[in-house]
Copies of this chain bind each other. A is one copy, B any other.
Amino acid sequence: MALEKTADGVPTIYHVAQRAGVSIATVSRVLNGHEQIRPETEEKVLSAVRELGFVPNASAQGLSKGLKRIIGLVFANSWWEEDPQSVEENSLLFADELIRGAQVAADRHAYSLLLLSSGVTHRGHAFSDVFGKVDALVLLDRVVRQERVGPIAKRVPVVLLAGSGRSRSATTIRVDNAGGMQALAEHLVVVHEMRRTAFLGGLVDSPDNDARLAAFQQAVFDLGGSCEIDEALSADWTSSGAVAAVGRRLRKRRRLPEVIACANDQMAIGAMHALAMAGLRVPEDVAVVGFDDIPVARYLRPPLTTVRQPIRQLGAAAVDSLVLRLQGHEPARDVVLPTELVVRGSCGCPAVPDLGLGNGNGSTPRGERA
């Protein structure tokens, strides 16, 4: 019985009960919003809580209730490069927005977001060692091999951000990669009359990369164009990786593509940089387009034409789905969020002031000219 203050002087529910002159069950009922409480009793309890600065111990709550109100967001370990000297190699702007969306949604449901990295951590502990801290998990692209998802999903509800949507044990929440890349290809081939395209890919075995590559290539072929795909023209989702890849491509002394479509915006930033470093103008010599519409894209010179994916909404939808499932509901197992073409200057369209007013529906091409 914890009537003595804890070793570090922190008040417990027993102190509140004593001060309010009621039982600990009554304190618990007041704090958890039960209905059958007399107003005078409630006031006594809340007063005591305020005076003592009482905060429930979440471990005790989690243990007795069986619910911790914590959702784990799992990143691949390699995204958290430990060496502080490699400043950008593993920086992913996409993750920033995702965390933001997930955090807002978690807040809304009175949950908290715990950041976890996959792979081996300190002293050889696998990340499964931290399962015990969470009620549910959001797994980002490629953080866990497909065959491990099932056993994990047996313990806690899981959302995959990326994938085919065919998982039977986890929920998949993804964006309409195909629709977005198709709209992009059409814009380039139909509006700009480009025929020679190239694709700068992200990591192999990434569902998002595969989907974007396949859709872009197919759409370009269907429209009578060509799409150069080369292992050397492939990076690790980062700008610096893209600088290296485009550098390699430029050294090949082959005819330049008219446009490089990048699997994400961050690599598009690096591609533009590499072209500029080589004395090539964007979009006059080679156009560059991306995928994401990360916030900084509009401030580039030229501003980046890209496919907008609702990154924050992705994070929020993941959390919303998990909370519903934890509440005993059965939300959809496969959710596809819309993408949208955002036309700016890097494809060759006239650059107009981007005042951040871009809102749209679905994948309808919609330039910044409005």
Contacts and interface: CB of A to CB of B under 8 A. Distances in A.
B270 A130 contact: no
18 contacts: A80-B103, A80-B107, A82-B104, A86-B356, A87-B293, A91-B96, A91-B100, A95-B96, A96-B96, A107-B122, A109-B122, A110-B121, A112-B115, A113-B115, A239-B296, A269-B296, A273-B298, A300-B300
B70 A133 contact: yes
A270 B296 CA distance: 9
A37 to B, nearest CB: 17
A67 to B, nearest CB: 9
Nearest to A85: B359
A108 B132 contact: no
Interface stretch (A138-146, A202-210, A308-316): A308-316
Copies in the complex: 2
Interface string A116-151: 110001110100111111000000000000000001
B296 A296 contact: yes
Interface string A348-367: 00000100101100000000
A121 to B, nearest CB: 5
A62 interface: yes
A101 B115 contact: no
A240 B59 contact: no
Given A82-B104, A97-B91, A107-B122, A59 B55 contact: no
Contacts of A125: 110
Contact of A99 (B59, B84, B115): B115
A128 B356 contact: no
Interface residues of A, number: 86
A117 B107 contact: yes
Contacts of A75: 103
Nearest to A67: B59
Contacts of A100: 80, 91
A21 interface: no
A331 interface: no
A112 B167 CA distance: 28
A370 interface: no
A113 B60 CA distance: 20
B121 A103 contact: no
Contacts of A3: none
A324 to B, nearest CB: 15
A356 B97 CA distance: 24
Given A55-B129, A133-B70, A301 B300 contact: yes
B299 A272 contact: yes
A133 B93 contact: no
Contact of A55 (B116, B132, B269): B132
A267 to B, nearest CB: 11
A53 interface: yes
Contacts of A300: 299-301
A39 interface: no
Contact of A59 (B62, B270, B316): B62
A69 B114 CA distance: 12
A359 B298 CA distance: 29
Contacts of A56: 129, 132
B110 A133 contact: no
A40 to B, nearest CB: 22
Interface in A46-82: 53, 55-63, 66, 68-70, 75, 80-82
Contact of A132 (B58, B99, B122, B312): B58
Interface in A309-356: 310, 312-313, 316, 353, 356
